Amino acid sequence: MLTEGQDYVLVPQGVWEKLYEWYKGGPSLPRKMILQGFYHRKYNVEVYPLCLKLIDSRDDSQSIIWLSRKASVTELFQKVCALRGIERDKACIWDYFNKRKHARLIVSNKSLEEANLQMDQDILLEEVDGCHSSRFGMDSTGNELALVSLEPSRSPLTIARGPTLSNGHSSGYRSNLYPGSSLSSGLTDMDDGFDAYNSVRKGEKGGLAGLQNLGNTCFMNSALQCLVHTPPLVEYFLKDYSDEINTENPLGMHGELALAFGELLRKSWSSGRTAIAPRVFKGKLARFAPQFSGYNQHDSQELLAFLLDGLHEDLNRVKQKPYIEMKDSDGRPDEEVAAECWKNHKARNDSVIVDVCQGQYKSTLVCPVCSKISITFDPFMYLSLPLPSTITRTMTVTVFYGDGSCLPMPYAVSVLKNGFCKDLLLALGTACCLKSDESLVLAEVYGNKIYRFLESPLEPLISIKDDERIVAFRFKKKGMGKTKLVIFHRWQEKFTTDYLRIGTGLFGTPLVTYLGEDQPSGANIETAVSKVLSPFKRTYPSAKAHIGKENGFLSDGLDEQCGSSDAMSVANAELEVTSSTDLSLPLLLIDDSFMNFKAFKKDTFFESGKILRVVLDWTDKEQELYDANYLKDIPEIHKAGFAAKKTRQEAISLSSCLDAFLMEEPLGPDDMWYCPRCKEHRQAIKKLDLWMLPEIIVFHLKRFTYGRYLKNKIDTFVNFPIHNLDLSKYVMNKDGQSCVYELYAISNHYGGLGGGHYTAYAKLVDENRWYHFDDSHVSPVNESDVKTSAAYLLFYKRVRTESKVETGEASHSHFIS
């Protein structure tokens, strides 16, 4: 659970050697680069090598072996033989996972990852006499090993049509295990009380097997339990699906992911209450999706998205995808366009996942300039719903006038705690009576510099901490030219005593304005600076301006930390001062590193479209003319008080989350839409509507919010119905299908970001009873207890009407409630 950049950093070997030479210390922790991925292969640093516990059967001694998971089985043999002093031809090594023999490791170039060896698992060393061992064929207790392998065969045929024995041959009783398979002898049910893994007792129900945690794999176990308890998928994978495996799809995994999932599902429904170690599935996951490899915690929703998409491509009935050119809606009826889009989608994508899990939504984009309307109908596999917050926070922001028309003024506004910068801008605009032809630009001030401009309206407000200082610059929209000018302030006294320490004299809040000229000059800069300084002119100039905290603002007291720090190698700053400058204000041009300073004249011209930065040296003259106190000590976002009370988050409903998801909103600046009429990218207004609902609908509650500087988890309780979720008011297409759904599974997340723990609730529909799946542990749970604030993924199935069940329209009648 170590986090790179927080708990450790990765450095090249040469850097480590220099650090060690300078500071000593240690120990050295060398790590290898390993090649990962299937389609997009890339090198990653293997921070956690594979740790194996070697048990020597000759003396029951135990040793620890560290190897890369990309190391070969041959390398493992070499290391074991050297460590234990045994000849290669006399060494027999077993995969001894859970203290039970699973497979004998054969010397080969197969990697340890491909051999499904897991972190901290046991391997068993036996000494063989020739080709036989004294304990060969026996487990740790001396009993004969069962002939059935606990992991599926590598053969696709046997995985899809039933398990195989450890020697690779199908057993005689396999032909009556799976009804509908090509190997079936005509029996419709499995032998009573006997299954492929010899572990179900008579009368014991399937679907109650836990999944062993293989090292932070609770996220995977949680998502898998929800899927293996999805009724249509259970019925599909318990039958013969081998004919639908698409091994030629370049977007798929050659059918291997579907085979591994199908085998896991079959084990889950045939192993009683015996926990399953999903090692083969995890191995496939690591191979095809290296982002889930290793032993870090991941997001169950991200895994679910990958898994559903991967299963679809592995089971896609379309072998050759046709090229289809999409047409614009061009004012045609929605029904016609939607049917055309779905037909085109099905021509390229046709699988059980599409049949069961995919719906269709209507997406409407409106150009804010020419009002061009674009309507498309797109498929969806799940819906990611935002959680509207009911908790507010007070934020104090100081508004400066970019045109120098008024003095700065702090405003305290109330906004949603989990809102965005667009909400803050809206509240500020109302508070300061912003006109329709004006605009606000947010910025964070740190160390008397602009630390960052908050340009994205979708930047989460949680990224702004209470002790930070935020300002807003107010401009006329038509006055926001191409070139942004940032003006910094510096005391002249410190400048004159030691000009090399150029950054140490900065004070106050930088001012921001715009230069409207196509090619701004030094004269334009001087005019703009004079204009924004005009509100600070003293009515009665004094001989010496009194520098103090007279405006009632709270003391600053911040120390510089960021990359543009005053303390940055200031001794290397270069200063070019020209006595022939003709400016009436002491201005110097500076770069963004605050390392290079340059004088300029009125007739100096600058390139348009870039950010220009100047520093104003406050001499005695400037201090007499202007009151600098207005620039000093702007208030923090929120000053915590002793009597501050925590506001409790009120519960929100699933319907309010849906309303927020379907709300009209502008696209972000990083997600611009190309308007075919304007021939330019525009920040269009987007509106989503549900058009067609699938048999299985998954709601992803967006509890994790990611800003540029901060991540957060929302623990709000979402009140969702277990029965009779009626979505009819949200569906535009009235096609006669039932819009009533029933909950059957939940993926839960407990704890905070970067860790925590995942579990699942799942309902055995035939039994009409809920169970709690916590890795290996499975226990019954009351239906009323499954609604918690930990709910992260909600799985609903369509409830069909009685008339449709009777007419045979419901093919899954034994799962219907």
Which residues are known to be catalytic? 218, 757
Please tell me the distance from the alpha carbon of residue 240 to that of residue 453, in angstroms, as a whole number.
58
- CB of 218 within 8 A of CB of 775? yes
What residue has token string 């014991």? 204
How far is the C-alpha of 397 from the C-alpha of 445, rounded, in Å? 11
Which amino acid type is present at position 550? E
Burial, 558: exposed, middle or buried (Cβ in 10 Å; 0-12, 13-18, 19+)? Answer: middle
Give the position of tokens 């790590």.
31
Cα–Cα distance, 764 to 771 (Å, whole number): 8
Strand spans (E) along 106-160: 121-129, 132-133
Residue 163, preceding peptide bond in cis (omega within 30° of 0): no
Please name which of 650, 651, 659, 726 lies closest in space to residue 385, comparing C-alpha atoms. 659
H or E stretch covering 352 = helix 352-357
Rounded Cα gap, residues 793 and 749, in angstroms: 9
Look at residue 726 and give its three-state secondary structure. Answer: strand
CA distances from 146 to 98, 211, 462, 463 (A): 15, 21, 57, 57
Show Cβ contacts of residue 90 under 8 Å, excluding neighbours closer than 6 positions.
Answer: 127, 128, 129
In sequence order, what are the residues at sequence separation of 6 or more whose Cβ sits closer than 8 angstroms to the Cβ of residue 29? none
What's the rounded Cα separation, in Å, for the pair 232 and 388?
Answer: 32
Given a contact cutoff of 8 angstroms between Cβ atoms, the answer to whether 593 and 570 are in contact is no
For the four alpha carbons of 706, 710, 715 and 716, in that order, the dihedral sign comes to negative
416 neighbors 391 (Cβ within 8 angstroms):
yes
> Under a CB-based contact definition with an 8 Å cutoff, are residues 605 and 583 in contact?
no
Query: Residue 302 and residue 311: Cα distance in Å, rounded?
Result: 14
In whole angstroms, give the CA distance from residue 703 to residue 715.
7
The SS3 of residue 44 is strand
Q: What is the Cα–Cα distance from 341 to 376, expressed in whole angstroms?
A: 8
Q: Longest Cα pair distance anywhere in the chain, in angstroms?
A: 107
Residue 606 phi/psi, 5-degree rounding, is -125, 155
Tokens of 792: 């992260």
